Amino acid sequence: MLMPTTSTAVHTAPASRTAARAAQPAPASHKLTGPIEMMGAPMSFGRNGEIYGEGEPADFVYKVVSGTVRTYKVLADGRRQIGAFYLPGDVFGLEVGEEHAFSAEAIAATRVLVVRRSALMNLAARDSNVARELWTLTGQELARVQEHIVLLVKTAQERVVGFLFEMAARRPAGDTVELPMSRQDIADYLGLTIETVSRTLTNLEHEHAIELPNSRRIVLCNRPALNEMHG
Amino acid sequence: MLMPTTSTAVHTAPASRTAARAAQPAPASHKLTGPIEMMGAPMSFGRNGEIYGEGEPADFVYKVVSGTVRTYKVLADGRRQIGAFYLPGDVFGLEVGEEHAFSAEAIAATRVLVVRRSALMNLAARDSNVARELWTLTGQELARVQEHIVLLVKTAQERVVGFLFEMAARRPAGDTVELPMSRQDIADYLGLTIETVSRTLTNLEHEHAIELPNSRRIVLCNRPALNEMHG
DNA sequence: CGACCATTTGATATGGATCAAGCGATGTGG
DNA sequence: CCACATCGCTTGATCCATATCAAATGGTCG
């Protein structure tokens, strides 16, 4: 639907790989062996590479091995709303209906595992543990989106601080957050403009709540202060 | 947690009813027989009656028979965000985790069917159709919340019009929408103030897009015009 | 009738958007 | 190796949609 400007997708048909599937390095996930690891075929996407489009048949389920993925919708007036960011270990593209509700793109060079949804469904019909795992994944997604709703009704500063906490919790690395996405991506996730995101981060730095060694790295050097700020 | 001001809950312990369960009038739902109808115990709540609180163990699943339910969170600064409205036939309170993510209240006098979550889980472990139904319910909830996110990043007019379309689609009754909830409820669902909701409705009426016979009844008398307005 | 509560309407304030320019890193061709 | 184009980000000035504050209206129930 929306052609990426600098797509360098290596594969475009996930079905083209069914061999050589058992030799992945273990992805950064709490679950080291599951249906997707067992059955998944590796695929790679370049920066801005389109993984699937909104409204397309949801025939495949994906798990991030490395890199980052964003899902989004483009509204009628051209504005883009980002639904989620997916980091290594995260599953995305799992739909209960027949179509993808959002489009998905790689933010930077990204490797994923791909598995046919029908294969998972067949497995789930026979194995209640797999069925439960699919349900759990959908439930985690639901919880995440509910948190997102709460973020979206707050002030700009609360949204930005909430986003920083969210990212810090997902990639525990002390107080340093490494952002794989641009300011525009953050703005479109938070329902703000790029200018407001930038200004808010600058303010937080002036108040000594964060440090900005560079634009993609943020140090949460005063968590109590940040906690005060996020409602 | 939050005591309702005029609670008139008839039952407070759903487990107190296990007999007399097969004689409900069929609720307005596309699914006339399911686990909840088969196993559910009836309960009633008065206006503003608390059904469960955020953070409480999610031991029961509910289906609306009559009336309307809202789920909500109260933010740190006292603002209330409504997560969803549930109308007759809708299932709510089904959590994948162990706790309720939102609080639930009856908006007006409401009857529900209640079933133990553990009973559904046991059934699902043996019957993959039940498992699939639980997953489908969670997936529908996910789709609804994703739509809600898209609403929340639009302008006030777009949010209000989107809300009217949402309600009209859920209770197909020609172009007339009967609102069970107050302006404050609508405002807290849309992330707006009550004044902005009221003004927006007045504007829509002036533009002959809707009619307001009274504050709880809205006629969508110009759908093409409304469609233009909601991005 | 009168009290109460939900809703509407009016006046003003403000947070974030918009418009516009500047800055710093990265990469490319001469 | 440097001039220069490009891109992502920051900063500044102004505007506007919506919040806030305040009061009037209207419907409901004792």
Residues B133-144 pLDDT 10s: 999 999 999 999
Measure B77 CA to D19 C1' (Å).
Answer: 15
Whether residue B156 lies within 8 A of chain A, CB to CB, comes out as: no
CA–CA separation, B98 and A167 (whole Å):
24
Burial class, A141, CB count within 10 angstroms (exposed 0-12 / middle 13-18 / buried 19+): buried
CATH architecture of the domain formed by B156-230: Orthogonal Bundle (1.10)
Round the average pLDDT of chain B to a whole number and report it. Answer: 89
CA–CA separation, B122 and B137 (whole Å):
17
Residue B195 approaches strand D within 7 Å at CB: yes
CA atoms within 13 A on the CB side of A186: 25
Q: What pLDDT is attached to residue B69?
A: 98
Based on its alpha-carbon atoms, the radius of gyration of chain B, rounded to whole angstroms, reads 18
Q: What is the mean pLDDT of residues B96-105?
A: 98
For the cut 60, the answer to whether the pLDDT of residue A158 exceeds it is yes
Q: Which of A76, A131, A143 sits opposite B231 (nearest CB)?
A: A76
Whether residue A139 lies within 8 A of chain B, CB to CB, comes out as: yes
List the strands of the sheet with A217-219, edge to edge: A176-178, A217-219, A211-214
CA–CA separation, A41 and A20 (whole Å):
8
Span A93-127, pLDDT tens digits: 999 999 999 999 999 999 999 999 999 999 999 99
Global confidence as pTM: 0.89
Residue B193 approaches strand D within 7 Å at CB: yes
The domain limits of chain B are 6-149, 156-230
For the cut 50, the answer to whether the pLDDT of residue B155 exceeds it is yes
For the cut 60, the answer to whether the pLDDT of residue B3 exceeds it is no
Q: What pLDDT is attached to residue B32?
A: 65
Q: What is the mean pLDDT of residues A224-229?
A: 95
Q: What is the mean pLDDT of residues B198-217?
A: 97
Nucleotide closest to B198 measured between CA and C1'? C8
For the cut 70, the answer to whether the pLDDT of residue B107 exceeds it is yes
CATH number of B6-149: 2.60.120.10
User: For residue A128, which residues of chain B lie inside 8 Å, CB to CB?
Assistant: 124-126, 128, 131
User: For residue A131, which residues of chain B lie inside 8 Å, CB to CB?
Assistant: 124, 128, 131-132, 135
Instruction: Please tell me which residue, B28 or A162, carries the higher pLDDT value.
Output: A162
User: For residue B85, which residues of chain A lie inside 8 Å, CB to CB?
Assistant: none
Q: C-alpha dihedral over B25, B27, B29, B30, to 10 degrees?
A: 0
Q: What is the mean pLDDT of residues A151-178?
A: 96
In chain B, residues 167 through 186 whose Cβ sits under 7 angstroms from any atom of nucleic acid strand C? 182-184
Residue B154 approaches strand C within 7 Å at CB: no
Burial class, B178, CB count within 10 angstroms (exposed 0-12 / middle 13-18 / buried 19+): exposed
